């Protein structure tokens, strides 16, 4: 039969650089007058921080959540703007941000106090975050005037801080709450003559008013849809990650027998069952329900029974497949959006959850 030597290698995430670049181009087409802050936090949503930054080097800047992520980018020679979306908190972190030329979000009075008492070598480039309804980070609307005047008076702040807000419901098309957030934001900053940023992926795709001087797409760059009941192809996006793994065993299970831990799946008839080398140790969620789709040789088959640490079981039906065949878990031809629904989650969590053990390749 000639079993492939790679069989014991387990799952493999193939990242398509051309798809990443295509998706960035889609952002430019949708928001032609906006600069793009490509959000690559969380290891570029599991796609690999440095390779993704390199593939998206035509972006106007990169957004990350943590100082550590930003430092890794600079160490790798990425010299674009890097924005720390949650900002920093201590004087030591301000020092690092100044040394490595990071832009920082200031969203709270604690950060503002720290910034004012910092003896910095040079002023920092700042984004002032306003809370227009998300109630996560940002100055409240009533506090903005105070925060803004303190920021502009602070010697540690470069001239012309930018302003930003984050939408809580942008994935609900035509939801009044989003219009209200955008109106609140614009009414505060209208006369300031500064650069603004509003939209994440959903905001950029669904809300023309959110396409201001800067957009901040994340998920769509990786080729996934932020909307329920919609997949990348509907938005002309291309999945950048395809997760595959080999089929390592095929067995005949008789009617009445159970499969996997706990026997939560029992054969109602004689069934050909395949075992694929992926499990929750790789980031394939343990709570994936029976019925979740996989693709083998272009045929759709379904996951059955409980996901183990290193393996899943698949009802092969009468598909002509055999040990050594490649099983697609999500990606091209099998949208992560669809798979995520079977784990009661969103595609963000699937791709971010890929573990260290998964081999990555870039083409
Ligand atoms: C993660 C994040 C984004 C990107 O969101 P997507 O939904 O992935 O497009 C944008 N802005 C902020 C502040 C974020 O934290």
Task: Check whether 5 has a pLDDT greater than 60.
Answer: no
Print the domain residue range for 89: 17-231
Helix axes 109-116, 91-99, angle to 10 degrees: 70
Task: Check whether 4 has a pLDDT greater than 90.
Answer: no
Nearest CA to ligand 1 atom 4: 218
Asked if the structure places residue 349 within a domain, the reply is: yes
- Looking at the structure, tell me whether residues 320 and 340 fall in a common domain: yes
Task: Check whether 1 has a pLDDT greater than 50.
Answer: no
The C-alpha atoms of residue 273 and residue 260 are separated, in whole angstroms, by 11
**How many Å lie between the centroid of ligand 1 and the Cα of residue 232?**
17
Which ligand 1 atom is at minimum distance from the Cα of 166? 13
- Looking at the structure, tell me whether residues 30 and 158 fall in a common domain: yes
Domain count, the chain: 2
Q: pTM above the 0.85 mark?
A: yes
Look at residue 2 in the predicted model and tell me its pLDDT: 45
- Looking at the structure, tell me whether residues 174 and 215 fall in a common domain: yes
Look at residue 3 in the predicted model and tell me its pLDDT: 47
**How many Å lie between the centroid of ligand 1 and the Cα of residue 355?**
21
% residues pLDDT > 90 (the chain)? 97
Query: Span 196-225, mean pLDDT?
Result: 98
What CATH number is attached to the domain comprising 48? 3.20.20.10
- Element spanning 220, H or E: none
Read off the pLDDT of residues 131-164 as tens digits, 9 standing for 90 and up.
999 999 999 999 999 999 999 999 999 999 999 9
Asked if the structure places residue 179 within a domain, the reply is: yes
- Looking at the structure, tell me whether residues 164 and 214 fall in a common domain: yes
Read off the pLDDT of residues 249-268 as tens digits, 9 standing for 90 and up.
999 999 999 999 999 999 99
Look at residue 7 in the predicted model and tell me its pLDDT: 65
- Looking at the structure, tell me whether residues 100 and 163 fall in a common domain: yes
% residues pLDDT > 70 (the chain)? 98
Q: Is the CB of 216 under 6 A from ligand 1?
A: yes
Tell how many helices (H) and how many strands (E) occur in the chain. Answer: 11, 19
Asked if the structure places residue 250 within a domain, the reply is: yes
- Looking at the structure, tell me whether residues 110 and 254 fall in a common domain: no
Q: Is the CB of 219 under 6 A from ligand 1?
A: yes
Mutational pocket test of ligand 1: of 216, 222, 226, 336, the residue with most ligand atoms within 8 Å of the beta carbon: 216
Query: Span 81-101, mean pLDDT?
Result: 97
Average pLDDT of the residues of the chain: 96
Look at residue 9 in the predicted model and tell me its pLDDT: 80
Q: Is the CB of 166 under 6 A from ligand 1?
A: yes
- Looking at the structure, tell me whether residues 253 and 189 fall in a common domain: no
Asked if the structure places residue 8 within a domain, the reply is: no
Q: Is the CB of 46 under 6 A from ligand 1?
A: no
| CB-CB neighbours of 319 under 10 Å | 17
Read off the pLDDT of residues 278-323 as tens digits, 9 standing for 90 and up.
999 999 999 999 999 999 999 999 999 999 999 999 999 999 999 9
The C-alpha atoms of residue 298 and residue 319 are separated, in whole angstroms, by 10
Domain boundary among 213, 231, 249: 231
Instruction: Please report, to the nearest 10 degrees, the dihedral formed by the alpha carbons of residues 44, 68, 213, 122 taken in order.
Output: -160
Task: Check whether 6 has a pLDDT greater than 70.
Answer: no
The C-alpha atoms of residue 308 and residue 324 are separated, in whole angstroms, by 19
**How many Å lie between the centroid of ligand 1 and the Cα of residue 218?**
5
Residues with a catalytic annotation lie at 41, 261
Mutational pocket test of ligand 1: of 20, 31, 39, the residue with most ligand atoms within 8 Å of the beta carbon: 39
Read off the pLDDT of residues 154-201 as tens digits, 9 standing for 90 and up.
999 999 999 999 999 999 998 999 999 999 999 999 999 999 999 999
């Amino acid at each position: 039969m000639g079993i492939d030597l790679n069989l014991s290698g387990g799952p493999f995430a193939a990242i398509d650089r051309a798809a990443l670049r295509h998706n960035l181009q889609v952002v430019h087409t949708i928001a032609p007058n906006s600069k793009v802050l490509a959000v690559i936090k969380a290891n570029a949503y599991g796609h690999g921080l440095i390779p993704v930054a390199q593939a998206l080097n035509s972006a106007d800047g990169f957004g990350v959540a943590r100082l550590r992520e930003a430092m890794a980018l600079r160490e790798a020679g990425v010299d674009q703007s890097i924005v720390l979306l949650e900002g920093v908190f201590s004087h030591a972190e301000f020092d690092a941000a100044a040394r490595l030329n990071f832009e920082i979000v200031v969203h709270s009075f604690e950060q503002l106090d720290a910034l004012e008492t910092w003896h910095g070598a040079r002023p920092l480039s700042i984004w002032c975050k306003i809370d227009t309804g998300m109630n996560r980070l940002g100055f409240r609307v009533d506090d903005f005037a105070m925060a803004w005047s303190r920021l502009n008076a602070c010697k540690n702040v470069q001239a012309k801080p930018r302003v930003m807000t984050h939408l809580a419901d942008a994935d609900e098309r035509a939801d009044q709450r989003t219009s209200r957030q955008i109106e609140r934001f614009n009414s505060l900053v209208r006369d300031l003559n500064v650069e603004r940023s509003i939209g994440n992926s959903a905001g950029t795709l669904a809300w023309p008013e959110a396409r201001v001087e800067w957009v901040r797409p994340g998920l769509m760059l990786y080729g996934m849809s932020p909307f329920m009941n919609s997949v990348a192809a509907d938005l002309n996006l291309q999945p950048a990650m395809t997760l595959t793994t080999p089929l390592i065993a095929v067995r005949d299970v008789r009617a009445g027998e159970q499969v996997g831990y706990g026997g939560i799946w029992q054969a109602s008839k004689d069934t050909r069952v395949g075992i694929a080398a992926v499990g929750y140790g790789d980031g394939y969620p343990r709570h994936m329900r029976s019925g979740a789709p996989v693709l083998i040789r272009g045929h759709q088959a379904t996951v059955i029974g409980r996901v183990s640490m290193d393996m899943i079981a698949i009802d092969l039906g009468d598909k002509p497949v055999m040990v050594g065949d490649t099983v697609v878990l999500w990606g091209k031809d099998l949208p992560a959006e669809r798979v995520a629904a079977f784990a009661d989650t969103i595609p963000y969590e699937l791709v971010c959850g890929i573990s260290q053990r998964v081999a990555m390749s870039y083409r």
